[in-house]
Amino acid sequence: MALRVSFVVVNWRQSEATVACVESVKAQRADAEIEIIVVDNESTPASRSCLEAISGTAVLALDDNRGFTGGMNAGFAIATGDYVAAVNNDLVMAPDWLANGLDQLADPDVGIVGGVEFLWNDANPPQDRSNVAEAPMRIDARDGYSFRTDEPMASQDVSALDGNNMLMSKQLADALGGFDDDFFMYYEDADLCARALALGYRIRFCTEMHVWHRRSLSSDCIPYRRQYLAQRNHLVFVARHFPTATWRRTVRKLAWQYLLFGVTGREAGLRRWRTVPPTDSTRRRAHLASGLWGLSHRSYLEAKRQQLATSGQRSDSYVLRLQSH
């Protein structure tokens, strides 16, 4: 009996992009049956009509915008596959993405696999492997920032993957409880990977899995919320996964740093703030809000950390693992 893979694609006000993404999913060449679930956040009659016209897909219409995390979790809940793929709607996939991903997951120690993200814009068309390629996501072991490097890419075990293209077993997705819905978007992918690592799984970056991504089609519509959530969720991520001895101090330092950025309007410490250009008012307000949030939500952060400890999805050795990668 062939494997069944459920692709979950979340749409929010970008139906045209979602159609292109789904068509690339339908073009996958793999020895597997494919189920496609399109989750339409804050669904409208126009978006539903457009998405339901795509043959071979199931459309789950949500009245409100539950973000990437809530949309993905809603799709995971109705997925019937042996595996689930979390896919951004603003990308297209190479036809062998799934086949290469399933090859990686043939190793039972590998929990989640993702691939290379090529730039897609007016000057860099999709399906062109000469486009600029993004290195795998890294997590800073001191302060928990997510970042990328320009190091040569190779298939390897990593500590985090970008959530725009992830493949995992449905069993693991269920065991993890999907993405943490409180994140909405940003750092939810690093958090999911950290929890899988705590359960003893490996996270694999595969250079044979290719996608072409038009970044920020949806998040560009909400610049303040995008910046605020990226910083607020950074603090939540550190609280959940950094060592018992240091996480409070690290969160407090980062919150004060964001607050300083908002007060000065410069993304630098006091010693260097005159040497960097000022930020715009939207970014400055987000700095202020995320810094104040971090300083005033200690009990919330404590509860989020305890939540992982209870589920067994947190390890005090996480930072040591970051240092080794």
My answer on whether 92 and 213 are in the same domain is yes
> CA-CA distance, 288 to 283, in Å (whole number)?
9
Burial class (CB within 10 angstroms; exposed 0-12, middle 13-18, buried 19+) of 282: middle
My answer on whether 34 and 138 are in the same domain is yes
Domain count, the chain: 2
> CA-CA distance, 192 to 196, in Å (whole number)?
6
CB 96 within 8 A of CB 81: no
Q: How many CA atoms lie within 13 Å of 33's alpha carbon, on the beta-carbon side? A: 9
Tokens linked to 231: 């910083």
> CA-CA distance, 306 to 312, in Å (whole number)?
10
My answer on whether 91 and 183 are in the same domain is yes
Q: For the range 305-311, what are the long-range contacts, defined as Cβ-Cβ under 8 Å and sequence gap of 24 or more? A: 305/239, 305/240, 305/247, 307/240, 308/195, 308/198, 308/240, 308/241, 311/177, 311/195
Q: What are phi and psi of 289, to 5 degrees?
A: -65, -45
My answer on whether 183 and 255 are in the same domain is no
Render each residue's pLDDT in the chain as its tens digit; 325 residues: 689 999 999 999 899 999 999 999 999 999 999 999 999 999 999 999 999 999 899 999 999 999 999 999 999 999 999 999 999 999 999 999 999 999 999 999 999 999 999 999 988 899 999 998 988 889 999 999 999 877 778 999 999 999 999 999 999 999 999 999 999 999 999 999 999 999 999 999 999 999 999 976 655 667 899 999 999 999 999 999 999 999 999 999 999 999 999 999 998 876 776 778 889 999 999 999 999 999 999 999 999 999 999 999 999 888 888 877 6
My answer on whether 44 and 169 are in the same domain is yes
> CA-CA distance, 277 to 285, in Å (whole number)?
16
Tokens linked to 180: 């943490």
Write out the residue range of the structural domain in which residue 281 sits. Answer: 223-324
Final residue belonging to a domain, choices 169, 189, 220: 220
How far does CA 136 lie from the centroid of its chain?
A: 12
Burial class (CB within 10 angstroms; exposed 0-12, middle 13-18, buried 19+) of 237: buried
CB 118 within 8 A of CB 213: yes
Report the pLDDT value the prediction gives residue 319, as an integer from 0 to 100.
87
What are the CA-CA distances from residue 310 to residues 111, 175, 238, 304 (Å)? 21, 13, 17, 10
My answer on whether 173 and 227 are in the same domain is no
My answer on whether 66 and 157 are in the same domain is yes
CATH number (domain holding residue 89):
3.90.550.10
Place of tokens 């126009």: 46
My answer on whether 37 and 139 are in the same domain is yes
Tokens linked to 235: 């603090």
Final residue belonging to a domain, choices 185, 220, 255: 220
> CA-CA distance, 14 to 88, in Å (whole number)?
11
DSSP 94-140: -TTHHHHHHHHHTSTTEEEEEEEEEE-BTTB-TT-TTS-EEPPPEE-
What are the CA-CA distances from residue 119 to residues 122, 123, 184, 212 (Å)? 10, 9, 24, 6
H or E element that contains 195: helix 188-198
My answer on whether 212 and 245 are in the same domain is no
My answer on whether 149 and 280 are in the same domain is no
My answer on whether 112 and 27 are in the same domain is yes
Q: What are phi and psi of 62, to 5 degrees?
A: -110, 135
Q: For the whole model, what pTM was predicted?
A: 0.94
Burial class (CB within 10 angstroms; exposed 0-12, middle 13-18, buried 19+) of 208: middle
Report the pLDDT value the prediction gives residue 321, as an integer from 0 to 100.
84
> CA-CA distance, 221 to 111, in Å (whole number)?
33
CB 70 within 8 A of CB 184: yes
Final residue belonging to a domain, choices 186, 220, 254: 220
